[in-house]
Structure 1
Amino acid sequence: MKTSRLFFTVLLLLSAAQPALADVSLQVKVLLEGAYNATSGLMRDDLRSKGLLPVTQPYAMSPFNYAGSETAAVGVLAVAGTDAVVDWVLLELRSADSAASVVA
């Protein structure tokens, strides 16, 4: 099975309570396979094209309980082709001292 490799520039949305992280920049390597089309080498955008992607972040419920207020800008979910959105991804930055401690 071929695995797709996607590289993201991550913008951390930080609160005033996290000033030490204000200048953090991450380069994240994410391996996704569920929506990968080995023939085209692209991610399928079935969820977007069928109107199944929510406009607001979907991680407010258990087990994530993420309180972020992110939304997709008007028109983003209408983009098709190689620049189409395929899904939401939640990344957490955790403490090196305690993996149970979410830093951002």
Structure 2
Amino acid sequence: MDKVMISQPMNGLTEEQIVETRNRFLQFAEKENLEVVNTYFQDEWYSKDAMTERGVVQIPLCFLAKAIENMSLCHKAYFAKGWENARGCKIEHEVALQYGLEIIYED
């Protein structure tokens, strides 16, 4: 079974909007029989307070680094609408291109 990750804009969006996009992605992945690799880090380790306590200065960069690490487990990357306007998504897109992941764009 191929593995897939989602790259989706998050900055300036509500939790509800993020989850709505993610749910569309999860439906797509299930329909296509793809195993989802998590790139939406919500546990305590990734809370703002915990990251600040660990000395993380660039919190968005920490999330991007972890997402790219998890991308190494994937065959495919799914890019949600608006990815081309989000700096992290643009970087993930370039990584996917350079490393030969199959790229899927949300309709």
TM-score, with structure 1 as normaliser: 0.26
CA radius of gyration, larger in:
1
Question: Structure 1 or 2: larger helix share?
Answer: 2
